[in-house]
Structure 1
Amino acid sequence: MLEQQLVNALALGCVYALFALGFTLVFGVLGVVNLSHGAVFMLGSYLALEAVTILNLPLWAAILVGCATAGIAGLIIDFLVLRPLRKRNSPHLIPMIATIGVAIAVNSAVQGIFGADNIRFPPGIIPEDAIEVGKVHVTAIELLIIATSIVLMIALMIVLKRTQVGRALRAIAESPKAASLLGINVEGLFLTTSFAAAALGGLAGVLIGLYSSAVFPLMGQPMLHKGIAVIILGGMGDIRGAMIGGLFLGFAEVLSVAYVGSTMRDAVAFGLLFLILLVRPQGLFGKVLERKA
């Protein structure tokens, strides 16, 4: 039924958008494509799961643990890897390669600690009852994903557009050196951005772990590929583009499974993305950069 598929697509697209928000925030402010974001996504899911199973915390507290630990991981990555490279004015390719190494190290460490098998959150942690609107069934986890994602997307847009911190971040995105001359604490906001972006990634990890009932060490890898696709589709560094691109990919995947076939899920979704980029190479909200001779 189309209405049911649209609800499923909205929930999945919201997770993609939430993941891509953190991804594009780092690129927009730090100018880095952080390829360890998928590992941070996975780390948040594992830590929330451990908080539930070992510490017996309620779900809301476990989600906070997952977000906080993912945010701290983002701070550590920035402090130990990205910050030294910024001070050396390293080319853009170097941080990308460095974060690939970080992702491999984190994935290997988690696999060594928890094993390679799929694990899941305990049954009953989220009510299994569904709200029925006509013939549409909306589960508690879908409501949680949609409500959380929409609230955080709106909040992030307000912070970036209406607050002093948002104006400072936009100034840094234009020119860190000029922002520093204006008295803006550039390094402090770099750290804040790294924490916030990683926390968003960790939250997306917890939500997708609950939604799919599968937590495993390499779960961040396909999400990373989709996150890259989303921010390219939406426009590199654009928050609106990350939100709309995530929703587009979610709808494309779910509807292709429903009406084309599960084996064609990624082919249809990425094929549509490719066609859109043929028409608009800079993405939906990206700017065209002129190359001067």
Structure 2
Amino acid sequence: MDFNSLIDGLGTHTLDGLTRGSIYALVALGYTMVYGVLRLINFAHSEVFMVGTWTVLGVYTVLGADSDSGMGMVILASLLALIAAAAAAAGVALAVERIAYKPLRKKNAPPLIFLITAIGCSLVLVEIFGHVLRVFFGPPFGRAPVGIPSPIQTTTLLTIGDVRITNVQVFVIVGAIVMMVALDMFVNKSRLGRGVRAVAQDPDTAALMGVNQDRVIMLVFLLGGAMAGVAALLHTIQFDITKFDIGFFIGIKAFTAAVLGGIGNLRGALVGGLLLGIVEVYASTLFNSSWADVTAFIVLVLVLMFRPTGLLGESLGKARA
């Protein structure tokens, strides 16, 4: 274990962890919102994120945006990529809910059936996407990693001691926090948000009070999908790469973040994501980079063993009996 490297670069490693964790937190929102309302773990949410990354690549390719683009093109490409990725991811999330989950709700299927269906949707989306990319676009698309030429050039904004703070890190962290705050305010302050919290607390009583449960469920999937789309843009800016199955490990880590913070808790998703990102980077520094993915599984097991309700342990509504 390399304690010296961790201590010497503690500030840099912490900043890197916060950057990674911000992306995990945004993706975790989809898991935590769906669970808060439906008590369903939507494992297909990781593929919603994957679709967002490819949408960003598509926008950049159509516009011809790359690191040599001018400021006007950078702003235009980033804005259009944000809107397109959020819309595409939200659309896929809603399609999964309408096609796969809604028929099961109508039949009052047991939770195990929902879980199996979620895993099946995840596998179907991955394989279809990988096959379509390979058949219609050929190499380098398909199953190989593909680089995404982000139009945002990495520059140093501020140096504090040995810590170099870049524009990309600031963009990712601030962007994620802004989206988290906006969603939190929407759920807690708006009329539609009150409907979400009412269904999460007691769907039967909410229905008697005139809350349309079906619309609330649609809204939850749309919002969760849109947050995954935003996370996809931030991920491509930070890591400049995508793949047909890129959502697998991101999904595991986001789910771990949701459980760590308290699944069903919006603010818990932010806390869990940031903490997981920091722990992951610390573990990679202490041991080696191969521990980055293992860390998420270790944290998930430990949380489920010792604190299954998570750090905050509060759902969108009060816990159901």
| Fold agreement, TM-score > 0.5 | yes
Which of 233, 244, 251 aligns to 2:271? It is 244
Look up the equivalent residue of 1:239 and give its one-letter code: L
Once structures 1 and 2 are overlaid, which stretch shifts more, 256-265 or 178-187? 256-265
TM-score by length of 2: 0.84
* Shift, 1:241, TM fit: 1.6
* Shift, 1:279, TM fit: 3.6
Q: Contact conserved, 2:90 with 2:222, CA < 8 A, in 1?
A: yes
Which of 215, 218, 228 aligns to 2:245? It is 218
Secondary structure at the residue paired with 2:146?
coil
* Shift, 1:51, TM fit: 1.2
Which of 181, 191, 204 aligns to 1:177? It is 204
* Shift, 1:272, TM fit: 4.7
Equivalent in the alignment of 1:87: 106
Please list every run of 5 or more consecutive structure 2 residues that lacks an aligned counterpart in the other structure: 1-8, 65-75, 134-141
Q: Contact conserved, 2:149 with 2:240, CA < 8 A, in 1?
A: no
* Shift, 1:225, TM fit: 1.2
Equivalent in the alignment of 2:6: none
1:58 aligned onto 2:77: yes
Secondary structure at the residue paired with 2:147?
coil
- Counting only pairs closer than 5 Å after superposition, residues 258-269 of structure 1 correspond to structure 2 as 258-268=285-295
> C-alpha distance in 1, partners of 2:172/2:224?
18
TM-score by length of 1: 0.92
Once the two structures are superposed, what CA deviation does each residue of 1:136-169 show, in whole Å capped at 9, x if it has no partner?
Answer: 2222221211111111111122122222222211
Q: Contact conserved, 1:15 with 1:204, CA < 8 A, in 2?
A: yes
* Structure 2 CA distance for partners of 1:269 and 1:177, relative to 1, 3 Å: closer
Secondary structure at the residue paired with 1:173?
helix
* Shift, 1:66, TM fit: 0.8
* Shift, 1:268, TM fit: 4.5
> C-alpha distance in 2, partners of 1:167/1:247?
27
1:32 aligned onto 2:51: no
Please list every run of 5 or more consecutive structure 1 residues that lacks an aligned counterpart in the other structure: none
Which of 74, 80, 93 aligns to 2:93? It is 74
Once the two structures are superposed, what CA deviation does each residue of 1:83-106 show, in whole Å capped at 9, x if it has no partner?
Answer: 111111111121221122222221
Sequence identity (%) = 32
Equivalent in the alignment of 1:147: 174
Q: Contact conserved, 1:13 with 1:249, CA < 8 A, in 2?
A: yes
Equivalent in the alignment of 1:128: 154
Once structures 1 and 2 are overlaid, which stretch shifts more, 48-57 or 275-284? 275-284
* Shift, 1:107, TM fit: 1.0
Look up the equivalent residue of 1:51 and give its one-letter code: V
Once the two structures are superposed, what CA deviation does each residue of 1:53-102 show, in whole Å capped at 9, x if it has no partner?
Answer: 02446122112101101101111111111111111111112122112222
Secondary structure at the residue paired with 1:281?
coil
Q: Contact conserved, 2:154 with 2:166, CA < 8 A, in 1?
A: yes
